[in-house]
Amino acid sequence: MRTVWRWLLLWLIPIAAMAADPLSLVVLGSGGPGAVGRAGSSFLVLVDGVPRILVDAGPGSFARLGETGLSLDKTDIVLLTHLHADHAGELPGLVKARAVSVRAPIDFHVFGPEGREKQGDDAYFPATSRFVDLLFGAQGAFAYLPDFAGKVSFDVKDLSIFSKPGLKPSVIHTEPGLTIRAIAGHHRDAPAIIYRIDHGGKSITFSGDIDAKGHDNLRALAADTSLLVFNCVVLDPPQAPPILYTLHTAPADIGRIAGAAGVQSLLLAHLSPATDGKRDEVEASIRAGYAGPIQFAEDKARVTP
C-alpha cells in the first residue's frame, strides 16, 4: 500500500506544479491607515505559484505573511507605489523575514518613485533609493540587517513621477515570460507610481493611492488587464471631507475607469471603515460604469485573475 501511495505522490506533485496559476496574488494587507483590524496595504504576487513580487509593505503585513504559511525565499522584487507609512512602514520586517528564510545571499530589485523637495505646504519625500539607504545603508536605522543572516543587497530604481498627456508606460523589469511596467500616478503631494505585472497571458495592475490627476495614466496602463487592484478609501462626494478627494478616487470614478479600460475583474483594497461599512453602496456606484466581477479584499485572501 505504501508503494502505491508513493507512486500517487510522484504523479500528483508534477500535476500540482503544472496546475499552478501563472499569476495570482495573496493580500497581506487590505486596510490602512487607521488601526481597524486590517493590515496596511501589501500584496504578494505569485508567479507560477511561487511568491516572487512584493507590492507595498504596510504595517501588519509581516504578521499576515506568517499566518498565510507562505515563504519569501524566492521573493526578490519589491514594488512601492509610494512612501507613506501605511504602504512602506513594514519593509524592514519583511526584508528580515526574507533574509532569515534561507540564510543565503539575496539581491532585492526595488522600484519606487523618485523624490520631491518640500514646496510650500507640500511635504518632503525622499527618493526610493534614499529611503532604502536610510533604512539599510551603512548609516541607516537598520544597518546591521544586510549582514544579519546572509548578505542582502539592494538594486534600487527611482521611477519618474513626471506626467504629461499621452504619457506611455515604461517597462521596468523583464525576464522570460514576465514583464513589469510602470507609469506615474498622482497622490496629491506624495510621489506615486502605478504598476502592471504580465505573465502567462494574465496581468495584474495596482493603482496605489490615486487622485483624479492620475486617472488618465491608470487607464492607459490598466487597458484590458486581467485584474485591477484599486484602492477604495472614500465614498462618493460629499460623504467624505473634501481634502480626501485630492488624495483618493471615489467609487463612481473607479467604475468609470475600470469600464473605460476594459478591466476583466476588479479587487477593491485599502478599505477604510467608510467603504467597508457601505459595501452595497460602493458596489452600486461602481456598477454604473463597470459590469465585471467585483471583489472586496480581505487579509490573507488569495485572488487569481
Percent of the chain with pLDDT over 70: 94
Q: Which of 91, 47, 85, 86 is nearest to 65 (CA)?
A: 91
Q: Is the pTM of this model over 0.85?
A: yes
What is the Cα–Cα distance from 209 to 193, expressed in whole angstroms? 9
pLDDT-derived band at 7 (thresholds 50, 70, 90) equals: very low
Helix, strand, coil abundance in the chain, percent, nearest 5: 30, 30, 40
Task: Look at residue 14 and tell me if it is in a domain.
Answer: no
pLDDT-derived band at 145 (thresholds 50, 70, 90) equals: confident
Task: Look at residue 203 and tell me if it is in a domain.
Answer: yes
State residue 1's pLDDT score: 41
State residue 178's pLDDT score: 97
Task: Look at residue 85 and tell me if it is in a domain.
Answer: yes
For residue 259, give the H/E element and its range. helix 251-261
Q: What is the DSSP letter of 288?
A: T
56 is in which domain, residue-wise? 21-297
- The alpha helices in 89-230, defined as continuous H runs, are 91-102, 128-136, 215-221
What is the Cα–Cα distance from 38 to 42, expressed in whole angstroms? 11
Task: Look at residue 175 and tell me if it is in a domain.
Answer: yes
Task: Look at residue 106 and tell me if it is in a domain.
Answer: yes
pLDDT at 4 over 50: no
Q: What is the CATH number of the domain that holds 165?
A: 3.60.15.10
Task: Look at residue 146 and tell me if it is in a domain.
Answer: yes
Please give the tally of structural domains in the chain. Answer: 1
State residue 206's pLDDT score: 98
Tell me the per-residue pLDDT of 229-238, one tens digit each, with 9 for 90 and over.
Answer: 999 999 999 9
What's the rounded mean pLDDT across residues 207-215? 96
Task: Look at residue 9 and tell me if it is in a domain.
Answer: no
State residue 146's pLDDT score: 84
Task: Look at residue 78 and tell me if it is in a domain.
Answer: yes
